[in-house]
Homo-oligomer: A and B are copies of this chain.
Amino acid sequence: MLMIPGPTPVPERVLQAMAKHPIGHRSADFSAIFGEVTENLKWLHQTKNDLLILAASGTGAMEAGIINFLSPNDKVLVCTNGKFGERWGEVSEAYGLNTQYVKADWGQPLDPNAIKAALDAGPDIKAVIVTHSETSTGVINDLQTISSYVKAHGALMMADTVTSLGACSVPVDEWNLDVVASGSQKGYMIPPGLGFISVSEKAWEAYKTAKLPKFYLDLGPYRKNTAKNTTPFTPAINLIFAMQSALQMMRNEGLENIFTRHDRLKRATRAAIKAMGMPLYASDDCASPAITAVMPEGLDAEQIRSVMKKKYDIILAGGQDALKGKIFRIGHLGFVSDREVLTAIAALEATVIELGGKTTPGSGVAAAAAVFTQK
């Protein structure tokens, strides 16, 4: 039972769709599927922008989103408050961009005013890179406000929405997000291997003069081919089958219901952890709808994960880099329901008690149930 922020649980019908025999990717049959998937991804992104699909992980998609619209020595503002924000800084530096940073501590949200100040001080900034939901800490950043400052400035707004798309509303057009990248093994409910990226007209304008070298990640040919419901290179055909099935499920559920469900899972998980007397790593006002990070005082987070796995076959994520051993992370993203949260919390209570932690038996499950039974 996967309760990590990716890969997330995959519905049986999606696994079955993926197990169909591949068809030729240059066929009319495949084009019809590819066209449907592209349209439904635009629906999920709430956008009229181009929506491109890569055979790559989310990191590949995000790299494409950065390098297609910039030239060497361009000034970019990378906003970091966790491992993934830092990764986009590494990408930026690997390509020789003039990389400026606005940083917040891990576990804290980015301060939109600090970003505004950096923009005011840097009229030549070409792009701002923000991780919406920071998977490493369970913090969600105020992308809407940040994007409004970036629009006023004129730079391109590039967002990593790997663990926010499909968990909460990311209205790409309304928020003026120029480049939005994500990966398939998260809110999309399918296995890893596909990356998604939406690109605004403003970004395509920048593409025309962008000089960073690229080929497999060159989005120009993807745009041209996507308009004809095909791809420049061989697509990951069976993952496209899976995506078709998962998006049909998402359309059946509806955007509002999907977001309400994730919000409820987040609130229940946090209420349970609080009731158990364990400190939450991120505060309520910046809590990711996808991941809850817990800092178990007096207990080793890795030991908790180990017992959860061995005794209850529930997989939690650990802390990354400096947080290793200090936090564990509960994913409640994608194909997850109230039942999974109750299960995970019940097992966590038993684990904490087994390891000698202080908690009132039943307190976590009771608190989660209270959220689920709220009118």
Contact = CB atoms under 8 A, between A and B. Distances in A.
A183 B25 CA distance: 15
A234 B6 contact: yes
Given A25-B7, A213-B96, A236 B19 contact: no
B213 A212 contact: yes
A78 interface: no
B19 A94 contact: no
Contacts of A19: 15-16, 18-19
A219 to B, nearest CB: 13
Contact of A90 (B20, B59, B215): B215
A244 to B, nearest CB: 14
A215 B91 contact: yes
A14 to B, nearest CB: 9
A342 interface: no
Given A57-B216, A216-B217, A4 B24 contact: yes
Interface in A185-213: 185, 191-193, 212-213
Nearest to A195: B55
B18 A238 contact: yes
Nearest to A217: B216
A210 to B, nearest CB: 12
Interface string A1-42: 010101101100001101111111101000000000000000
B63 A193 contact: no
A315 B234 CA distance: 16
B193 A55 contact: yes
A60 to B, nearest CB: 4
A191 B242 CA distance: 13
A138 to B, nearest CB: 17
A43 interface: no
A193 B239 contact: yes
Contacts of A193: 55, 193, 236-239
Contacts of A107: none
Contacts of A239: 193, 236, 238
Interface string A109-141: 000000000000000000000000000000000
A10 B18 contact: no
Contact of A237 (B7, B63, B213, B218): B7
A2 B22 contact: yes
Interface in A221-244: 233-239
B15 A2 contact: no
Given A27-B315, A59-B216, A22 B192 contact: yes
A217 to B, nearest CB: 7
A56 interface: yes
Nearest to A235: B192
Given A15-B19, A91-B215, A237-B192, A24 B55 contact: no
Contacts of A183: 234
A375 interface: no
A288 to B, nearest CB: 18
Contact of A57 (B55, B96, B238): B55
B94 A215 contact: yes
Interface string A51-88: 00001111110010000000000000000000000000
Contacts of A15: 19-21
18 contacts: A2-B23, A4-B24, A6-B234, A7-B23, A7-B237, A24-B317, A25-B192, A27-B315, A55-B60, A56-B56, A56-B60, A57-B233, A60-B216, A63-B215, A90-B215, A96-B213, A192-B236, A216-B217
